[in-house]
Copies of this chain bind each other. A is one copy, B any other.
Amino acid sequence: MTERLVVIGGDAAGMSAASQARRRRGPDDLEIVAFERGHFTSYSACGIPYWVGGLIDNQADLISRDPETFRTEHHIDVRLRHEVVAIDLDRREVVARAWDDGGREVRERFDQLVYAAGAVPITPDWARTDTAGIFGVQTLDDGASLLAWLEGEPRPRRAVVIGGGYIGVEMAEALIQRGLSVTLVERSPEPMSTVDPDMGALVRQALCGLGLDVRSGVTVTGLESRDGRVAAVHTDEGSLPADIVVLGLGVRPNTKLAAEAGLPLGLTGAIRVDLGMRVVGVPGVWAAGDCVESVHLVSGQMVHIPLGTHANKQGRVAGINIGGGYATFTGVVGTAVTRVCNLEVGRTGLRERDATAAGFEFVTAKVESTSRAGYFPGAEKMTVKLVAERHTGRLLGAQIVGRSEAAKRIDVLAVAVWNKMTVAEMANLDLGYAPPYSPVWDPVLVAARRAAAAVR
């Protein structure tokens, strides 16, 4: 008898699961229905700042596979603008609203269910308003609305970006590229609190060099509107005029439906899954992407790290298993990279505060080196910081800030963290050397040497 797979959420995790299941089981063996509340499938939300900034011309460029392709080539019944509003585990069905059909109720039976509802922006009370000119940056629809506002009348000139994480700094840069005067407000002492404050300070300097007004250590207290349009952002250090406000305060797992249906949530607030992406204790139900928690392979703690790269991997794992194959998602080490004002920022593993929270004693080492041989054209300064366990010398985390060829060097350190290497062993690593690519001692090796000396 034909089984039926229902997928909630048509972005990276959900559609990866659907595609992988389909690769292994044909339409006669497995029907697949995917509900997506928005207008698009499988898009790159990470690309939105570059679209807003004008580096990428078309919204369509950000869509990796459209619904029609899924329908015709993969025989996946994708239903856009369908919002799932309830999961009935006893009756094995989901209830959805078809928003292009007046909110008509649709019920769909499932044998297997993939919950891939993603994340929702964190929205403080003061941001819960119908004032116009306030934007999140999570969906392509968000991006389109924001662009329309930027091009509308009266033409906005002053932007306030609230939150100095990846999305915040990327959006601040994008708005500067569009000619706006931009203020970035961040509660922490330095922007980009995904790295330690000493490294975040390097980012702040770069942002300021760009003409951006960075207000760190500042808390937003409210918004002011005029004629229904946003007019100012109030903070504990005064008021900032604003014709447009962008919220980059992070996201939380979208688990409302999951919780109502009784799926287990962890301490992070995200869904608990096993290595195969099965929801723990709920047979036939899988979850993947920004709504699940993962184990951090260094701290041993559960973490919620909403990133497209994990969502894709997790969706793929779920789909392979649903398809009768075998795959596992074994955990994360917290790698992330971004580009801000031609500054490249990478991180992996634990920051100092994470290492402390996890119970590690540690040493740090920070070195300045160059991306290429010092004499080679285009050589740029690069700062590498390592965090290593005291006594054992195990690499716990790393951060890199540099002008070029910096961010992806974090991958070398991510693989070292993954493999529990010590900094002493790392100093011997056989990394590629040629003058256009590296000094004869790669910055990673210089940092490892310094850290090894600190451990002893």
Question: A245: shortest Cβ distance to chain B, in Å?
Answer: 24
| Cα(A313)–Cα(B424), bound, Å | 12
A411 CB–B CB distance under 8 Å:
yes
A166: which B residues are within 8 A, CB to CB? Answer: 434
A310's closest neighbor in chain B, by CB? B430
A414 CB–B CB distance under 8 Å:
yes
| Cα(A453)–Cα(B333), bound, Å | 24
Interface pair B430/A414, CB less than 8 Å apart: yes
Q: A130-163: contact bitstring with B at CB < 8 Å (1 yes, 0 no)?
A: 0000000000000000000000000000000000
Between A62, A375, A427, the greatest number of chain B beta carbons within 10 A of the residue's beta carbon is seen for: A375
B336, B375, B421: which contacts A44 (Cβ < 8 A)? B375
Interface pair A434/B407, CB less than 8 Å apart: yes
Q: Which A59-78 residues have a C-beta within 8 angstroms of B?
A: 61-62, 64
Copies in the complex: 2
In the complex with contacts A44-B375, A50-B376, A375-B44, A308-B440 CB distance below 8 A: yes
Between A44, A55, A309, A335, the greatest number of chain B beta carbons within 10 A of the residue's beta carbon is seen for: A309
Q: Which A404-442 residues have a C-beta within 8 angstroms of B?
A: 405, 407-412, 414-416, 418-419, 421, 425, 427-438, 440-442
Interface pair A434/B376, CB less than 8 Å apart: no
Interface pair A432/B411, CB less than 8 Å apart: yes
| Cα(A402)–Cα(B428), bound, Å | 27
Question: A41: shortest Cβ distance to chain B, in Å?
Answer: 14
A369: which B residues are within 8 A, CB to CB? Answer: none
A233 CB–B CB distance under 8 Å:
no
| Cα(A64)–Cα(B344), bound, Å | 27
A407: which B residues are within 8 A, CB to CB? Answer: 432, 434, 437
B46, B329, B415, B442: which contacts A434 (Cβ < 8 A)? B46
A356 CB–B CB distance under 8 Å:
no
A307 CB–B CB distance under 8 Å:
yes
In the complex with contacts A405-B408, A408-B408, A415-B412, A12-B440 CB distance below 8 A: yes
| Cα(A441)–Cα(B12), bound, Å | 11
A263 CB–B CB distance under 8 Å:
no
| Cα(A272)–Cα(B71), bound, Å | 64
B47, B411, B434: which contacts A411 (Cβ < 8 A)? B411
A19 CB–B CB distance under 8 Å:
no
In the complex with contacts A312-B440, A411-B412, A415-B416, A432-B377 CB distance below 8 A: no
Interface pair A440/B309, CB less than 8 Å apart: yes
Q: 17 A-B residue contacts at CB 8 Å?
A: A46-B373, A46-B435, A56-B377, A309-B431, A309-B440, A309-B441, A312-B440, A335-B432, A336-B432, A339-B436, A405-B405, A407-B437, A408-B438, A409-B411, A412-B415, A414-B429, A415-B429
